[in-house]
Structure 1
Amino acid sequence: MSAPRPADRSGDTVLDGFRAVPGVHCETTMLGNMLRHAGVEISEALVFGLGQGIDAQFFPPPPHAPVPPMLTGRVGPGLITEQACAALGIGLITLRESDDAGAHAQAVAALSVGRVVGVTVDIFHLDYFASRTHFSAHCLALHGLDDSTAYVVDTTQQGGAQQLPLASFARARASDEGFMPSPRLHWHLDGGPAPPVGSGVDLAPRIWPAVQGAAARFLDRGRGDDRGIAALRRAAGELPGWRRLPHGEAVIPEIARFWRFAGTGGTNFRGLYAEFLAEAHTLTGDTDLLPSVTAFTEIVAAWTGLIDHLGGHADAPERSAHLKEAAARLHALADAEEAAFTRLLDLSRDREGTV
Structure 2
Amino acid sequence: MEKRFEHVQSAHCENGVTTALLRHRGVEFITEPLAFGMGAGLFYIQIPFLTVNNGPAISFRTMPGAIFSRTCSALGVDVVRKKFVSEGSAGSYVDDLVSKGIPVGCQVGVFHLPYFPQEYRFHFNAHNLIVFGREEDRYLVSDPVMEVTTSLSPPELSKVRFAKGPLSPRGQAYYPIVSGEIDRATIQKAIAKGIKRNVRDMLHIPGGFAGVKGIRYTANRVRKWREKLGVRKGGLFLGQIVRMQEEIGTGGGGFRFLYAAFLQEAYDYIPDDTLLSISEDFTRAGDLWRSNAVKMAGIYKGRTTEQSDFDEVADRMMEIMEVEKKAFARLSSVRLQK
TM-score in same-fold range (> 0.5): yes
Matched, 1:58 2:43: no
CA contact (8 A) 2:9 2:144 kept: yes
How many Å apart are 1:133 and its aligned residue?
Answer: 2.3
> 2:208 & 2:322 partners in 1: Cα distance?
16
Distance 1:202 1:351, change over 3 A: closer
Give the CA deviation at 1:254: 4.4
Equivalent position of 1:142 in the other structure: 131
Corresponding residue to 2:181 among 168, 193, 196: 196
Higher mean Cα deviation, 109-118 or 249-258?
A: 249-258
How many residue pairs get matched? 331
Deviation at 1:114, TM superposition (A): 2.9
Runs of 5+ unmatched residues, structure 2: none
CA distance in 2, matches of 1:62, 1:263: 18
**Alignment partner of 1:152 is 2:138:** no
Q: d(CA) in 1 for partners of 2:149 and 2:225? A: 38
Aligned to 1:271: 257
- Could you report, residue by residue, the CA deviation over 1:130-185 in whole angstroms, capped at 9, with x for unpaired residues? 234211111111111344212112233x44422112211110001122x4222111
Whole-Å separation in 1 of the counterparts to 2:305 and 2:55:
22
Asked if residue 25 in structure 1 is aligned to residue 12 in structure 2, the reply is yes
- 1:171 counterpart SS class: helix
1:7-156 paired onto structure 2 within 5 Å: 17-41=4-28, 42-60=30-48, 62=50, 67-130=54-117, 131-156=120-145
Report the Cα distance in structure 1 between the residues aligned to 2:260 and 2:298, rounded to whole angstroms.
Answer: 27
AA aligned opposite 2:134 = L
Partner SS state of residue 93, structure 1? strand
For residue 263 of structure 1, give the secondary structure of its aligned residue in structure 2. coil
Residue 337 of structure 1: aligned partner: 324
Instruction: Name which of 289, 292, 312 aligns with 2:278.
Output: 292
Query: What is the deviation of 1:240?
Result: 2.3
Q: Residue 136 of structure 1 aligns to which amino acid in structure 2? A: N
Per the TM alignment, residue 318 of structure 1 is displaced from its structure 2 partner at its CA by 4.3
Compute the displacement of 1:315 (Å): 4.5
* CA-to-aligned-CA distance 1:50-101 (integer Å, 9 cap, x gap): 11111112134548x9611132211100111110001111100111111111
Q: Following the alignment from structure 1 to structure 2, what is the Cα–Cα distance between the partners of residues 241 and 67?
A: 18
**Aligned partner of residue 278 in structure 2, secondary structure:** helix
Q: Residue 316 of structure 1 contacts residue 322 of structure 1 at CA under 8 Å; is this kept in 2?
A: no
Q: 1:204 to 1:351 in 2, by over 3 A?
A: closer
Tell me, yes or no, if the aligned pair for 1:19 and 1:37 is still in contact at 8 Å: yes
Task: Tell whether the 8 Å contact from 1:274 to 1:297 is kept in structure 2 after alignment.
Answer: yes
Q: 1:166 and 1:67 mapped to 2: Cα distance?
A: 32
In the alignment, which residue of structure 2 is the partner of 1:6?
none
| 1:328 equivalent in structure 2 | 315
SS of the equivalent of 2:77 reads coil
Displacement, 1:250? Answer: 3.9
Q: How does 1:188-227 map to 2 (within 5 A)?
A: 188-190=175-177, 193=179, 195-197=180-182, 200=184, 202-222=186-206, 224-227=207-210
Q: Contact (CA 8 Å) 1:38, 1:115: kept in 2 or not? A: no
Residue 231 (1) aligns with residue 214 (2): yes
For the 8 Å contact 1:147–1:166, the answer to whether it is kept is no
- Return 272-281 or 160-169, whichever deviates more: 160-169
Structure 1 unaligned spans of 5+: 4-15
| Letter paired with 1:105 | S
**Are the structure 2 counterparts of residues 317 and 174 from structure 1 closer, same or farther at C-alpha, using a change threshold of 3 Å?**
closer
Task: Answer whether contact 2:163 2:170 (CA < 8 A) is retained.
Answer: yes
Distance 1:240 1:330 in 2: 11
> Does structure 1 residue 241 correspond to structure 2 residue 224?
yes
- C-alpha separation in 2, matches of 1:181 and 1:66: 15
C-alpha separation in 2, matches of 1:302 and 1:261: 17
Read off the aligned partner of 2:104 and give its amino acid letter: V
- TM-align CA RMSD: 2.2
Pairwise CA distance, 1:221: 3.7
Contact 2:75 2:186 (8 Å CA) reproduced = no
1:170-189 alignment, distance < 5 Å: 170-177=158-165, 179-189=166-176
Q: Secondary structure at the match of 2:260?
A: helix
TM-score (norm 2): 0.90
* Deviation of the 1:352 alpha carbon: 4.1
Counterpart-to-counterpart distance in 2, 1:225 and 1:145: 47
Q: Helix, strand or coil: the match of 2:267?
A: helix
- Work out whether 1:301 is the aligned partner of 2:284: no
CA distance in 1: counterparts of 2:324 and 2:235, whole angstroms: 28
CA contact (8 A) 1:221 1:229 kept: no
